């Protein structure tokens, strides 16, 4: 898990922006022999360098290069550099969120959302959420993670949605403190645009159904599409039904409605590279 060494730390807008600039010209900035220079460039200690690198890998912004010393920008990282150099657009952070949800190395980020209720959006006690996720995630050897490890990992995720951090400002997660119950968490009610939903569909297709042209709506919700968009299955169905009526989305998907068996058919343009550019170029402002 790329977030394993975060020690409960989130990552900042500036750190990611600065790291993208550096990696664009120096793929070995995170190599051990370059630690002193990396600390100066990113104004960060050794542990925070691991935090920056971990979040960027988890969000699919960077990937391993030609050698173990190198990290290179992915298509997503290059798109951020081109279209939102300082990461000021809400659409960039929606793309960051969705990339992390569908990453293969970003746990417990996806589990954080999957274990929150997207129907009634009831508040969940923080300690209970940790225990619930700990019971579902296992190490490579099949053993559960230690309590301290899971607390640290999930704290780094929770703090990405706190205070003035960008993911907090698009309303994905709500947090409050109760004297008796401590920290309480629930899914938020962010503003969902068509471009966000289209990109989420494309990410789901690429990461879960690459060779499947049509997928039951129930399968999409079972695999977390509604949780990642912070909406209920009913709300998601209404969005897809409405978008189906627009000619703009015919080349991306079709929503097929049948009795007790709704489904989504993916069209030619429903691929992450195309929908990412659509989101970054045409995405509306959804800051709270």
CATH number of 41's domain? 1.10.10.10
Residue at a domain's end among 128, 154, 187: 187
| Average pLDDT of the segment spanning 167-182 | 93
Residue 99 in any domain: the answer is no
Residue 2 maps to a domain:
no
Q: Is the pLDDT of residue 111 over 80?
A: yes
pLDDT at site 59: 97
- Residue 174 covered by a domain: yes
User: Quick one: which of 172, 31, 34, 25 has its CA closest to 95?
Assistant: 172
pLDDT score, position 117 = 96
pLDDT of residue 180: 86
pLDDT of res. 104: 94
Point out which residues pair with 253 in neighbouring strands: 266
Query: Is residue 152 in a domain?
Result: yes
Percent of the chain with pLDDT over 90: 87
Same domain, 183 and 130: yes
Provide the residue range defining the domain that includes 257.
194-282
Across 188-199, average pLDDT:
98
Residue 138 has pLDDT above 90, yes or no: no
Q: Is residue 169 in a domain?
A: yes
Lowest mean pLDDT across 7-11, 95-99, 185-189, 247-251? 7-11
For residue range 39-82, what is the model confidence (pLDDT) as tens digits? 999 999 999 999 999 999 999 999 998 888 999 999 999 999 99
Confidence band of 245 (pLDDT split at 50, 70, 90): very high
**pTM greater than the 0.75 cutoff:** yes
What is residue 266's predicted lDDT score, i.e. its pLDDT?
A: 98
Pick the last residue of a domain from 147, 164, 187: 187
> Could you give the 3-state DSSP secondary structure of residue 86?
coil
Whether 104 is in a domain gets the answer no
Number of domains in the chain: 3
Q: Are residues 238 and 257 in the same domain?
A: yes
- Whole-number Å distance between alpha carbons of 183 and 181: 7
196's tokens: 């966000």
Dist CA 190 CA 208 (whole Å): 24
Does residue 248 surpass a pLDDT of 80?
yes
What pLDDT does 120 receive?
A: 94
287, pLDDT greater than 90: yes
pLDDT of residue 112: 97
Which residues are 255's β-sheet partners? 264
Nearest to 133 by CA among 105, 100, 107, 172: 107
Structure confidence at residue 205 as a pLDDT band (50, 70, 90): very high
- In this structure, are 199 and 244 located in the same domain? yes
Beta-bridge mates of residue 124: 185
Do residues 183 and 199 share a domain? Answer: no
User: Is 178 in the same domain as 204?
Assistant: no
Q: Please tell me the predicted confidence (pLDDT) of residue 145.
A: 87
> Which of 187, 221, 244 is the C-terminal boundary of a domain?
187
Query: Is the model's pLDDT at 107 over the cut of 90?
Result: yes
Q: Is 145 helix (H, G, I), strand (E, B) or coil?
A: coil
Q: Quick one: tokens of 107? A: 């746990």
- Residue 22: pLDDT band by 50, 70, 90 thresholds? very high
pLDDT at 6 over 80: no
* Burial class of 261 by CB neighbour count within 10 A (0 to 12, 13 to 18, 19+): exposed
Residue 89 has pLDDT above 90, yes or no: yes
Residue 84 and residue 30 in one domain: yes
pLDDT of the residue at 66: 85
CATH code, domain carrying 235 = 1.10.10
Q: For residue 6, is it within any domain?
A: no
Domain identity same for 138 and 214: no
Residue 93 resides in a domain: no
């Amino acid at each position: 898990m790329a977030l394993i060494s975060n020690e409960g730390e989130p990552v900042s807008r500036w750190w990611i922006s600065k790291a993208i600039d550096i990696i664009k010209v120096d793929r070995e900035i995170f190599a051990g022999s370059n630690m002193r220079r990396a600390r100066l460039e990113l104004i960060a200690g050794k542990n925070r360098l691991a935090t920056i690198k971990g979040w960027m890998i988890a969000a699919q912004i960077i990937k391993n290069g030609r050698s173990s010393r190198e990290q290179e920008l992915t298509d997503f990282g290059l798109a951020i550099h081109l279209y939102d150099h300082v990461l000021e657009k809400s659409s960039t952070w929606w793309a960051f969120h969705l990339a992390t949800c569908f990453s293969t190395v970003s746990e417990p980020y996806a589990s954080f959302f999957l274990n929150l209720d997207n129907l009634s959006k009831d508040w969940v006690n923080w300690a209970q959420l940790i225990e619930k996720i700990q019971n579902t995630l296992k190490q490579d050897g099949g053993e559960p993670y230690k309590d301290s490890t899971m607390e640290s990992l999930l704290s780094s995720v929770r703090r990405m949605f706190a205070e003035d951090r960008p993911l907090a400002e698009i309303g994905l997660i709500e947090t409050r403190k109760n004297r008796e119950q401590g920290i309480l968490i629930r899914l938020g009610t962010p503003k969902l645009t068509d471009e966000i939903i289209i990109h989420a569909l494309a990410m789901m297709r690429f990461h879960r159904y690459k060779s499947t042209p049509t997928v039951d709506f129930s399968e999409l919700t079972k695999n977390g599409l509604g949780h990642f968009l912070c909406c209920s299955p009913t709300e998601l169905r209404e969005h897809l039904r409405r978008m189906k009526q627009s000619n703009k989305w015919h080349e991306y998907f079709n929503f097929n409605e049948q009795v007790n068996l709704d489904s989504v058919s993916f069209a030619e343009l429903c691929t992450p590279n195309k929908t990412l550019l659509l989101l970054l170029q045409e995405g509306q402002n959804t800051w709270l």
